[in-house]
Structure 1
Amino acid sequence: MGDGPLSGARSVEGLRHRVGSLARVGALLVLAVTLLAPPAVAEPTVTGLAPNAEPLDDALGRVLDSGELVMAVRADAAPFSAELETTPGAFDGYSVDLCRRVVDAIARDAGRDVAIRYLPVSAQDRFEVLRQGQATLLCEATTVTLDRPITEKVDFSLLTFIAGGSYLFNRNGPPNFDDLDAGKIGAVAGTTASEGLRDAEERKYIEGNARRDFADYPEALIALEAGEIDVLLGDRLILQRILEDPKNGLEGTFDIADRYLSYEPYALALPLNEPRLQRAVNGVLAELYRSGDISQLVNQHFTLRELPPRLNAMFKIMALP
């Protein structure tokens, strides 16, 4: 009887039952694994922002909410920040391009459109616009010092460049900086050069009337050419560009000293106590340094002889994980 048609039918039915049971068990196992598995974690973004996250009431949140980031820029700080002669109101430069990269990354990671608005500033009021909330980033030749976060009440990004202070001088004037007459040293007010002169004056290293402050480099150049000052102190790269610009007509009469008077580490400045904004800015800079993409911006804005020898080492040190 065991070999009859009925026995075969029961065997097939039993097989189907076992297969069905196994399928149900398998489905239950898959469900259990799914329930017990930890939730998927999104890949961290360069800026640290979560896509489509709700804006918070901080500087970065206000940028995302308004769809606009205000960049404070200077017209007289080439090759870091300068107004385009062909397009008034538009700005370009190494620091400006770094800030553009930050804006692009914020927009991409947050999944929102973010426009750029330029706010022209001077060396005197550049930090004030950050304190007053009129700008989100300061994108020019800004030196980081130990005191500025306290005295100016602003924060800084990772370092972006290494520069140094030097001076322009008339070839027919005193050949040595130490031989300058009183009242013949100029600098742009609000810069580290001006601060250094003020400190030297207070310490009696120079005469009390030895320094003159100017509103900007164009005003200082007029005084230099008129003989009102013997030398103009400033960041060497900016002075080099001023000297080599044909429209200034300085070459042949004026020169730039080989001597460096100070160390000037540059960074982007931002409002004080804005950790999310600072994280976003530093994330973009660190990624540029890690990937090597920073070389594209460096090559775009500087000649080979303008680059300090330890710049690549600085990029590697600043490429934080």
Structure 2
Amino acid sequence: MQLRFVASLVGTLAVALSPHVAQAQAGDTLAKAKSSGIIVLGVRESSGALSYHLGGGQYAGFHVEICQRIAEDIEKAAGRKVEVRYVPVSSESRMGDLTSGKIDLSCGSATNTTARQQEVGFLNTTFVEEARIAVKANSGIRSITQLHGKTLVTTRGTTTVQHLRRHERGAGIKFKELYGKDHADSFRQLASGKADAFLMDRSILAGNIATAANPADFTIVDEPLSLEPIAIMIRKDDAGLRKLGNETIARLISSGEMARLWDKWFMQPIPPANRSVGLPLSEATKAVWADPNDKPMEQYRRR
């Protein structure tokens, strides 16, 4: 009787604890990959040359390729074959998809901010971005001050409009706001004339212009709104993945592979249109590669 009671108690405790064990493992990507043999990358469908859909379930881009290198190192750490799966996410859904366990890394275009750090974690910065404005080349808009009374579009779930409002030259400017469901939708609203300007990261603007039917119809205003550290998002307390991912990034930088990836995705012709984004490596990005860190945007000097 006593032995049966002990066995029953152990079984009851195991059942009671199993959800908590599963939840803990869901937050530990390396343990999850080792047990399930699966790693899930959250990817974007139109984030310029960072992450975009090629069709047929294939995704490509600078951040996608970095995430693939991280996945290769996860496979080595797991000591088994690990299948890489791709799940499209949006600016709105990406953090929720990450914290819920739907994806393991968010491989799009995420700015590291102190507010976001309350919910998710970030690997070391892969490049420093500038928020800018794309307009039609014949619009005559060449300055932030010329946006007064205009209609601006940005992508839902991003922070670009807040940057404009905080910018000293944006003080007092009144404008109508539109929101695209993704970056491609925002760009379509600019192209169709529904919006006079598209506010977003320079690389995303350049990527969408490069794939437009007539790239010469558009231009990026040469006036940055902010400096933003762009990084791959992970779950907040996923210490094992943070260490491994940062080691992967450090190796890519020290070996020169990171610079080659930048050249591949931002300076060379890329599919499907086989056009170059034409975005040279910035001095700010070179500086962060020389001193890898995960500092949030608030620690960067505003222009």
- TM-score bracket for this pair, using the shorter chain length: 0.7 to 0.9
- Equivalent residue, structure 2, for 1:9: none
- Equivalent residue, structure 2, for 1:302: 266
Pairwise mapping of residues 13-52 of structure 1 onto structure 2 (< 5 A)?
none
Amino acid at match of 1:82: Y
1:69 aligns with 2:33: no
Residue 284 of structure 1 aligns to a residue whose secondary structure is: helix
Amino acid at match of 1:233: L
1:182 aligns with 2:146: no
- Equivalent residue, structure 2, for 1:99: 67
Q: Is the 8 A contact 1:286 1:319 kept in 2?
A: no
Amino acid at match of 1:118: Y
- Equivalent residue, structure 1, for 2:225: 261
- Equivalent residue, structure 1, for 2:18: none
Q: Which has the larger radius of gyration?
A: 1
Amino acid at match of 1:127: M
Shift of 1:300: 1.8
- Equivalent residue, structure 2, for 1:157: 123
| Match for residue 205 of structure 2 among 239, 256, 259 | 239
Shift of 1:174: 4.5
Gap change, CA 1:254 and 1:78, over 3 Å in 2: closer
Percent same amino acid among aligned pairs?
28
1:268-303 per-residue CA deviation (whole Å, 9 max, x = no partner) reads: 100111111111111211222233332332222121
Pairwise mapping of residues 183-222 of structure 1 onto structure 2 (< 5 A)?
184-196=151-163, 205-207=172-174, 210-222=176-188
Q: When the two structures are superposed, what TM-score results if normalisation uses the length of structure 1?
A: 0.73
Residue-pair matches, total: 256
Gap change, CA 1:295 and 1:199, over 3 Å in 2: closer
Paired with 1:253 and 1:296, the residues of 2 have a C-alpha distance of 30
Q: Is the 8 A contact 1:188 1:194 kept in 2?
A: no
**Which blocks of at least 5 consecutive residues in structure 2 are unaligned?**
1-23, 268-277, 295-303
Residue 318 of structure 1 aligns to a residue whose secondary structure is: coil
Paired with 2:77 and 2:216, the residues of 1 have a C-alpha distance of 51
1:83 aligns with 2:53: yes
Paired with 2:235 and 2:61, the residues of 1 have a C-alpha distance of 21
Q: Is the 8 A contact 2:46 2:182 kept in 1?
A: yes
1:149-182 per-residue CA deviation (whole Å, 9 max, x = no partner) reads: 12xx000001111111111112333423312243
| Match for residue 167 of structure 1 among 104, 112, 133 | 133
Aligned-residue CA RMSD (Å): 2.3
Amino acid at match of 1:185: L
Amino acid at match of 1:156: F
- Equivalent residue, structure 2, for 1:312: 286
Amino acid at match of 1:299: D
Gap change, CA 1:252 and 1:59, over 3 Å in 2: closer
| Match for residue 280 of structure 1 among 221, 244, 267 | 244
1:171-228 per-residue CA deviation (whole Å, 9 max, x = no partner) reads: 333423312243511111112214435768xx97443x62211111222223213322
Amino acid at match of 1:262: S
Q: Is the 8 A contact 2:34 2:79 kept in 1?
A: no
Amino acid at match of 1:60: L
Amino acid at match of 2:126: T
Q: Higher mean Cα deviation, 128-137 or 191-200?
A: 191-200
**Which blocks of at least 5 consecutive residues in structure 1 are unaligned?**
1-55
Gap change, CA 1:295 and 1:249, over 3 Å in 2: same
Amino acid at match of 1:172: N
Paired with 2:130 and 2:227, the residues of 1 have a C-alpha distance of 5
